[in-house]
Amino acid sequence: MNNAGIIRRAPAAEYLWDDWRAVLDVNLDAVWALCQAAGRSMLAQGNGKIINVASLLAFQGGVRVPAYTASKHAVAGLTKALANEWAGRGVNVNAIAPGYMATANTQALRDDPARAQQILERIPAARWGTPEDIAGTAIFLASRASDYVHGHVLVVDGGWMAR
């Protein structure tokens, strides 16, 4: 499960190249490297499960997070590309797209009362997600129950995308 991720917030017109590279290095390049390395081993043994972590921003544009948004769109696309190649060889590649989770990456949003209120008003579940909310999805995608699931980006967002 490729779960590392960082975020840098700034207006796109002022976004620093070093921030762009740092985000893409962790959020995309590391995912690619780990998928490729694990995939080689899994292809050789004829089975395996790879779970990438994308984001709601794999479906939306985001605000003040151009590198994060680009990286998560790319993770969703990479997940589908690898699934297309490897499904017939016994390797499942899927992704989880978390919504707004109470993690370090969202601390700045949660610390801004107006923005936090806007976010919570849009989430039908009326709360920030927790890492525990992702656990069942990860277990499903890692289990035999998902053997016929390939290239899917499964949203876990408290209903955000339903609005």
Active site residues: 68
- Phi and psi at 92, nearest 5°, equal -90, 130
Report CA 42 to chain centroid distance, whole Å: 22
Q: Comparing C-alpha atoms, which of 99, 86, 98, 94 is closest to residue 145?
A: 94
Q: Are strands 91-98 and 153-156 parallel, antiparallel or unpaired?
A: parallel
Q: Find out whether 79 and 153 touch, Cβ atoms under 8 Å.
A: yes
User: 10 Å Cβ neighbour count for 129?
Assistant: 20
Question: In 4-59, which residue ranges form alpha helices assigned H by DSSP?
Answer: 17-24, 30-45
Question: In 46-91, which residue ranges form alpha helices assigned H by DSSP?
Answer: 66-86
Q: Comparing C-alpha atoms, which of 90, 92, 58 is closest to residue 161?
A: 58
